[in-house]
Amino acid sequence: MQKVNRDVLLEKAAAMLDAGEVQAVLGWGAGEFAYDVTPRVFETSDELRADFVWNDFCGANLSKYLVSKTKKLEGKLLVFLKPCDTYSFNQLLTEHRFEREKVYAVAVPCEGMADVQKLKALAGDGISSIESTDSGFSVTTIYDDAPVEVKGADVLLEKCANCKSRKHVAYDELLGDEGEVLDSNRFDEVERIEAMTSEERFAFWQGELSRCIRCNACRDVCPACTCEKCVFDNPNSGAENKAPTTSFEEQMFHVIRAFHVAGRCTDCGECSRVCPQNIPLHLLNRKFIKDINTFYGEYQAGAEEGSRAPLVDYTLEDLEAEDVFKKEAE
């Protein structure tokens, strides 16, 4: 599926490492199977050649790692960024989360990343090999000698199926061709829920949130969640909580989590990707994004470095809270 070959990325990174232009490379490392790719810092070109991967399972957004990894290095860190990752990159820069000078950002075009769960649902469990083809995958399982052909479009990660932009908004160097900002249907699902009655919405979210196990994966993977200490971990915050003890705690955590990233969330979709319980967390973030767009004008967090987030801004003519629902009805 991916148009840019692994070797293009590899040679770029290896050359810069060997030339001493960067001290390390932040990329994706090979796993046990074709699909279990782990973000990894490579320090030598030998390591890169052995373990670096760029395939259809590199969904992980590497930008958040820059916060901690740049602190540990004296020199520069080369990072590979997909289009959506560059939005997070900008947003982190806006919030002074790492030093721009310490990063060499290499933009990589992306054709969308695959969701292993969807793939397994179509191809079956017991996967022994996955071959990427032009249109998707050829999957072999231990249960069948013949490979199963799966269309790439059918197994895209949610965030890729509703990709907002194939354009990189920040980089030092671009490999391959630049893409466009897309007209996505990413708010369709939000609208579907908005169209429900209040009771239906409540039931819908109770169903979803009740699965939450408060593993904090959504928070810990989120590039907008970079607090030194999260309110939910801080015994003095009044919100500390370790378990979804009651349905209130589930709602509290997810409302506040989404609120804290409102106006800052770039819609990178990592929260939903990593949720072990498949809770559509992106819908909460997108609800805020949609509302912000409707109430205060289009705003895409991370599109521009240094832009003023909607919640730290205002106009004298802003919508009154009581008019929120009238506006939505329009």
Partner 1 sequence: MQRIGVFVCWCGSNIAGTVDVQAVSEALKTEPGVVFFTNYQYMCSQAGQDIIIDAVKEHNLTGIVVCSCSPRMHEATFRKTAAAAGLNPYMVEIANIREQCSWVHKDMASGTEKAIILGKAAIAKVNLNAPLTPGESPVTKRALVIGGGIAGIQTALDIADAGFPVDIVETKPTIGGKMAQLDKTFPTLDCAACILTPKMVDVAQNDKIRIFSYSEVQEIKGFVGNFDVTIKKKARFVKEEICTGCGACVEKCPMKKIPNEFNLGMDNRRAIYIPFAQAVPKVATIDPSACNMLKNGKCGVCSKVCTAGAIDYTQKDEFINEKYGAIVVATGFNPISMDKFDEYAYNQSKDVITSLEFERLTNAAGPTQGKLLRPSDLEHPHTIVFVQCVGSRCAACAEKGKEYCSKICCMYTAKHAMLVRDKYPDTEVYVFYIDVRTPGKNFDEFYRRAVEEYGVKYIKGMVGKVTPEGNKLKVRASDLIAGKQLNIDADLVVLAVAIEPDKSARPLATMLTASMDTNDFFTEAHPKLRPVESPTAGVFLSGACQGPKDIPETVSQASAAASKVIGLLVKDKLKGNPCIASANELMCNGCSTCANVCPYGAITYIDKEFPMFDRTMQTRRVAQVNPAVCQGCGACTVACMSGAMDLRGFASSQIIAEVDAICR
Partner 2 sequence: MRKCSLSKLTDLFQKINESASLYLPATDNAGGAVYTKWADGVEYLDVLNTVRSPKDFFFPQSENLMEFKLKGKNIEILDIREESEDFVIFGVRACDVKSFEVLDRVFLSEPVDSYYQNRRAHAVIISMACMRPADTCFCTAFGIDAAEPAGDVSAWKTECDLYLKANTEKGAQLLAKLSNLTEECDDSEVSPLQEKIRNIMKKLPLEGISLENFGKGKTKEYFDSPLWTELSEACLGCGTCTFVCPTCQCYDIKDFDTGSGVIRYRCWDSCMYSDFTKMAHGNSRNTQVERFRQRFMHKLVYYPENNDGLFSCVGCGRCLSKCPISMNIVKVMKALGGEKK
Partner 3 sequence: MQVNEYKPLIVAFCCNWCSYAGADLAGNNRLNYPADVKIIRVPCSCRVNPMFILRAFQRGADGVIICGCHPGDCHYTSGNYYTRRRMALLFSMLDFLGIERERTRLEWVSAAEGAKFAATMNDFAETVAALGENKRLEDLRCKK
Per-residue interface string for the shown chain with partner 3, residues 140-179, x marking contact by CB under 8 A: ----------------------------------------
- Identified binder of partner 1 from the candidate list 22, 37, 123, 230, rule CB under 8 A: 230
User: Residue 157 and residue 35: Cα distance in Å, rounded?
Assistant: 13
Taking CB within 5 to 8 Å according to partner kind, which of partner 1, partner 2, partner 3, none is near residue 292?
Answer: partner 3
Q: Which two tokens stand for residue 111?
A: 């054709």
How far is it, in rounded angstroms, from Cα 276 to Cα 214?
Answer: 10
Assess 231 for contact with partner 1 (CB under 8 A). yes
Which residue in 316, 271, 270 sits closest to 296, CA to CA?
316
Q: Is 122 exposed, middle or buried (0-12, 13-18, 19+ CB in 10 A)?
A: middle
Q: Tell me which residue has tokens 């004298």.
A: 316
Residues 210-249 that bind partner 3 (CB under 8 A): 231, 237-239, 245-249
- 312: tokens are 């730290």
Q: How far is the CB of 238 from partner 1 (least distance, A)?
A: 4
Give the binding-site size for partner 3 (rule: CB under 8 A).
Answer: 50
User: Is 215 near partner 2 (CB under 8 A)?
Assistant: yes
Beta strands in 75-190 (DSSP E): 77-81, 103-107, 127-132, 136-141, 144-151, 173-174
Size (the chain), residues: 330
Tokens of 99: 């030093």
Helices and strands of the chain, counted as H and E runs: 13, 9
Q: Name which position in 99, 184, 207, 247 contacts partner 2 (CB under 8 A).
A: 207
Q: Which listed range, 4-12, 180-188, 240-248, 309-317, lies at the site for partner 2 (CB under 8 A)?
A: 240-248
202 binds partner 2 (CB under 8 A): no
CB 179 within 8 A of CB 216: no
Part of the chain binding partner 2 (CB under 8 A), chosen from 9-17, 29-37, 80-88, 167-175? 29-37
- For partner 1, give the closer residue by CB, 97 or 186: 97
Q: In the window 53-112, what residues touch partner 1 (CB under 8 A)?
A: 71, 94-97
Give just the sign of the alpha carbon dihedral 297, 302, 307, 310.
positive
Q: Which residues 6+ apart lie within 8 Å of 310 measured at CB?
A: 262, 263, 292, 296, 299
Binder among 133, 185, 210, 237 for partner 1 (CB under 8 A): 237
Q: 73-101 burial by CB neighbour count: b if 16+ within 10 A, else e?
A: eeebbbbbbbbbbbbbbbbbbbeebbeee
Distance CA 330, CA 326 (A): 7
Q: Name the residue type at position 220.
A: D
208 binds partner 2 (CB under 8 A): yes
Interface residues toward partner 2, by CB under 8 A: 29, 31-33, 36-41, 60, 65, 116-117, 120-121, 125-128, 141-143, 207-208, 211, 213-217, 219-221, 233, 242-245, 270, 273-274, 276-279
Interface residues toward partner 1, by CB under 8 A: 71, 94-97, 226-231, 234, 236-238, 260, 308-309, 311-313
Interface residues toward partner 3, by CB under 8 A: 190, 193-194, 198-206, 231, 237-239, 245-249, 251-252, 255-256, 258-259, 262, 284, 287-288, 291-292, 295-296, 310-316, 318-322, 324-325, 328
